[in-house]
Amino acid sequence: MKKLLIIGATLLTFVAFAQEGPQISSAVIAIDQRADLADAKQYIEKARRIIDEKGEGNVKNKILAKYYHYYGKIHLYILQSDSEEIQALDDDALDKAIEYLFKSYDFEKRINKNYFIDLTIKMIRPLPQVKVQKAIIAVNQAQNQELQEEIEAAKASRKKAYENFMAAFEMSKKEPIGKMDTSSYFSAANQLFMLKDYEKAIEYYKNMIDWGYKGVSIRAYNIEKERFEVFPNLRSAEISVEKETHKDLGYTDEITPDLYQTLASLYRVTKKMDEYREILKVARELYPDNERLLREELQVFLDAGEFEKVLENIEQSLENDPNNALFHFIKGTIYYKNIKDTEKAREAYKATLAIEPDHADASFNFGITYVHEANAYVDRMNKLTTSPADMKKFDKLKAEQKKLFEKALPYFEKANEVKPNDPEILNALRESYFKTGNQKRAEEIGKQMESL
């Protein structure tokens, strides 16, 4: 009796260990011959349960290779299906396809066999881009949520985008791809920045600089949408140009200077000022003409009160971009407020307004230079006596003061036109009307200020 039981148990064990083969074969027939993904999914899941129970080490290499490949293939096809019903078979189809197709490749390389490896490689290559597409969808969702002020939802979307970009990056490093997708890493770093995970973002930006990442992409101009678009590779851009949907195929500028500037700003917001100054110094030496780095360094000098260095930077910036109204404006403000050179300040403000006539702050500051000069007359007038000689001097000084307010007035009027209801501009305007003898307009401006 004991002998019979032992034989029976042996037979049961043998049957259990043999069951995965027919299930895998049924899955293969379902997908390859009948294109029935629902049946294929059902059979391959039965095979998975059997293999999980008995252990992969107890499965023959050839059967295990077939199982890995087809488990990945079936889930990839579910993912790629146009049918919502088929897609609903597995919400995690992408991750399962990735896991098992890489298992298939790694296993066949390890046992030095080529059962499905060529087909597996073809299936693996586009997978990182699928993750990138999911990441881009999440970024777009985050942007819409931020517009709606759905802050927590936006954070969740950006975290999802980060995870998908990083999944694409990690996949790209592995064989059979074996080419680091630094553009996905860069996009992941951007998500960290938006999530205000500054410490981790610093690590990412440092890595990209160490790798020499340039961020150069292939682009072409979309004729219908009237804008440039970036393409994943040269051939896809060439096809679009051949179809005449795009034109002007070329390359984007390298973004390395932007990496330095972003890293510098990350050091600044995390108050790592030694690292901030050091990286900025390196960046300025490498890219002396880059405007964003010039501006960043400008802020360093402004914060330190090193105004001569600020002006040096601005002059250098203006050599590269003489029509930059902002630089002329900053130059004027430094000359007026810090160096106390009124004439040079006026020259700079005049240059600002020649480039950007509606620059309200430049107009206001230009006017203020005349008001401050006019106010300096007050002390001289107050020191005079009531003697006939001093009264003559008083009238002369009063007339000169009035001319200065008359010079200031059109600049305040222009500033008010551009920025109506600004209290500071209105106050200067009211005083100028009063000092030039236009009491009516001064009162009107006063009433306007009261109504604000």
pLDDT tens digit sequence for 273-306: 999 999 999 998 898 777 788 778 877 788 888 8
- Which pLDDT score, from 0 to 100, does residue 12 have? 44
Tell me: the pLDDT tens digits for 200-255? 999 999 999 999 999 888 889 999 988 888 876 777 788 889 999 999 999 888 89
- Which pLDDT score, from 0 to 100, does residue 2 have? 45
- Mean pLDDT (whole number) for 17-25: 84
Calculate the CA 322 to chain-centre distance: 28
- CA gap 176, 174 in Å, rounded: 6
Task: Report phi then psi at 216, rounded to 5.
Answer: -80, 130
Residue type, 99: E
Tell me: the pLDDT tens digits for 353-381? 999 999 999 999 999 999 999 998 888 88
- How does the average pLDDT of the chain come out, rounded? 91
- Measured CA to CA in angstroms, residue 68 lies from 20, 44, 72, 210 at distances of 12, 10, 6, 37
Tell me: the pLDDT tens digits for 162-202? 999 999 999 999 999 999 999 999 999 999 999 999 999 99
- Mean pLDDT (whole number) for 20-38: 96
- Which pLDDT score, from 0 to 100, does residue 32 have? 96
Lowest-pLDDT range of 80-84, 247-251, 346-350: 247-251
Q: Is the pLDDT of residue 1 over 60?
A: no
The better pLDDT of the pair 395, 302 is held by 395
Which alpha helices (H) appear in 111-150, and where do they start and end? 117-124, 127-147
- Mean pLDDT (whole number) for 406-414: 96
Q: Is the pLDDT of residue 7 over 60?
A: no
Q: Which of 123, 117, 112 is nearest to 66 (CA)?
A: 117
- Which pLDDT score, from 0 to 100, does residue 232 have? 65
Question: What dihedral angle (degrees, nearest 10) is formed by the CA atoms of 66, 68, 73, 78?
Answer: 130
- Which pLDDT score, from 0 to 100, does residue 305 have? 84
- Which pLDDT score, from 0 to 100, does residue 4 have? 41
- Mean pLDDT (whole number) for 45-61: 95
- Return the CATH fold of 358-452: 1.25.40
Lowest-pLDDT range of 317-321, 400-404, 439-443: 317-321
Tell me: the pLDDT tens digits for 124-172? 999 999 999 999 999 999 999 999 999 999 999 999 999 999 999 999 9
- Which pLDDT score, from 0 to 100, does residue 319 have? 86
Q: Is the pLDDT of residue 322 over 70?
A: yes
The better pLDDT of the pair 17, 191 is held by 191
Q: Is the pLDDT of residue 340 over 70?
A: yes
Lowest-pLDDT range of 13-22, 278-287, 351-360, 389-398: 13-22
- Which pLDDT score, from 0 to 100, does residue 5 have? 43
Domain with CATH 1.25.40 in the chain: 358-452
Burial class (CB in 10 A: 0-12, 13-18, 19+), 84: exposed
Q: Is the pLDDT of residue 17 over 80?
A: no
